[in-house]
Every structure is written in C-alpha cells, then in structure tokens.
Amino acid sequence: MSVIVIGDKAVGKSSMILGLCESSSQERYVVVDEDDCSRLREQLSPYGTVLPTEYPINLHSLSLYLRLPRPKDITVDLIDTRGELWGDIKATESPQNKFPSAYQDFMQKIGKARYIILVLHPYQELVRDEYLKSEHNPLDKVNKEEDLYPRDVWVKNLRRNLETLKNNCRSVKHFFICLHKADLFCNYREESARWKYNPSGSNDFSTYLDRIMNRYFGVAKDVIREFNASQGGTSKLSFFITTKKARNLLEIPWLSLGTYLSLDEER
C-alpha cells in the first residue's frame, strides 16, 4: 500500500509533514515515527527554515501511525519536486522536455500509488489581505500577485492536475486534495474547531467535507463534476483545508485516509 504526497511549487508539502512532527498540547491522532522526524528535520529544515527543493525530484519516506479505533501503520512517500516538474501551468517549457528522466521517474512513482494527497495553493481572490500582513504571516512571505494564481488560472491548473492524475494513476483508489495555507484565507482557529476527531464515537466526515468542498472549492465545481463523471460517477475526491498553524486541520486528511484503509480491509 502506497500513499504519496505531491503538490504545487513552494506550497509547503515539507512543512506540512514537519508540522505533524511537532509536539502538541492537544491529543495527537496522527503520529510520525520519531526517527523519521529527526531525519526529515535534518534533510528538509537543518537551520530551522525549510530549504527550497534543489533537485527536480526528491523522495522522502516516513512511517505514520493513525490512532483510529482500528489503528493503522502506513508508509508515506513525500515526493518533493521543483515547480517546473508539477503544477506550474505558467511554465514556458514542459517538464517532459526540461527534465525527461526525472519526469518519467515521477510518473512511474505516482502511477503505483493507491492513495494520493495533492497539496495546492489558494487562489488570489480567496486570500484576505489582512492575513498577508507580517504579524499574521511572519514566516511564509507570500506575495499574492507573484506567488498565487488568479481564480481562473487556478481552476485551469486544477483541471490539468486532475487530467494528469486520471491518465497516469489508474491504480489510485482515492485522492485527497488539500488547499494549504488556510491561515491566509480564513479564520483557521474557527475552522479547526468545527470538526474534531472523536476516538470513541462516530465521526461524520461527509458533512464536514461537503462543506469544505462547497465553500472553498466551489469555483471548480464543473471540473470536479467532470472528473467524477470520468470515474463512472463514483467520487474519488475528498477536499480539505490545511495549515501548519492548526494541528487538527493537518490531521483531518490523514484520519479520513484511515477510514478508507479500514473499508479496504473489509472488502
């Protein structure tokens, strides 16, 4: 069983994983192996700041423990790529031409995955200007016009991403799409409080995820509908918002993944 994390250029894939390694005063339901945490910090953030990706493709493997009613140990491959290799619709040269060997390797890896987590930037119109000020955004300096797509380009990019996944990832059972850096476009504390994992009771993922899809991904509803239609009408997409500033939001995609793993075991 393979779980792969991919995503936009400089979106924070590495810091998203490192956020799960951080100690927390709240209960942790997604636990990264301590040795893997130490190794990842040394490789990705040796000086306290996550380094930019130097090579076209870097692979980091780690073990996660999901504290579910039926606990799960899973192996995750974080595929860290330069923006030219994935998700840059404005690139002047295709990744197939610029990095032919690395691109082929990348496609082979995601083609073998059973589950994929795709991490995306928010689009320009979603971001709130007050959240870009230094007191809210001291570490991740985001320039809205330079670093983020306008809405129409963002939707086109999502369409292209889903086409790539559809054509190259036929073994994938489900895709988990995360709109990252939620602290730039919503009150993330309020959103984090809307749904918390209940280890001893029922967890209504569907109502929460429907709200996230309609509220934050509604601009791409036609793209999402087309993708689902291409899968025989069965949805293979779940949508999330994440930020390293709220552990609960970071954990939700992984806990949702755990429910799919449990269903697989029952079949």
**Cβ neighbour number for residue 72 with a 10 Å cutoff:** 18
CA-CA distance, 206 to 202, in Å (whole number)? 12
Mean pLDDT, range 12-34, rounded to an integer: 89
The model's pLDDT over 50-90, given as tens digits with 9 standing for 90+, comes to 766 666 677 888 999 999 888 889 999 888 776 566 656 66
pLDDT, one tens digit per residue, over 93-152 is: 777 887 788 888 888 888 888 999 999 999 999 998 877 765 555 445 667 777 789 999
For position 266, what pLDDT does the model report?
57
The Cα–Cα gap between 173 and 63 comes to: 20
Residue 58, strand partner residues:
80
Tell me the pTM.
0.90
Token couple for 28? 């942790």
Q: Spell out the domains of the chain, with CATH numbers in brackets.
A: 3-266 (3.40.50.300)
b/e burial code for range 123-136 (CB count within 10 A of at least 16 → b): beebbeeebeeeee
Question: Nearest Cα to 191, choosing from 218, 209, 217?
Answer: 209
Of the chain, the end-to-end C-alpha distance in Å amounts to 15
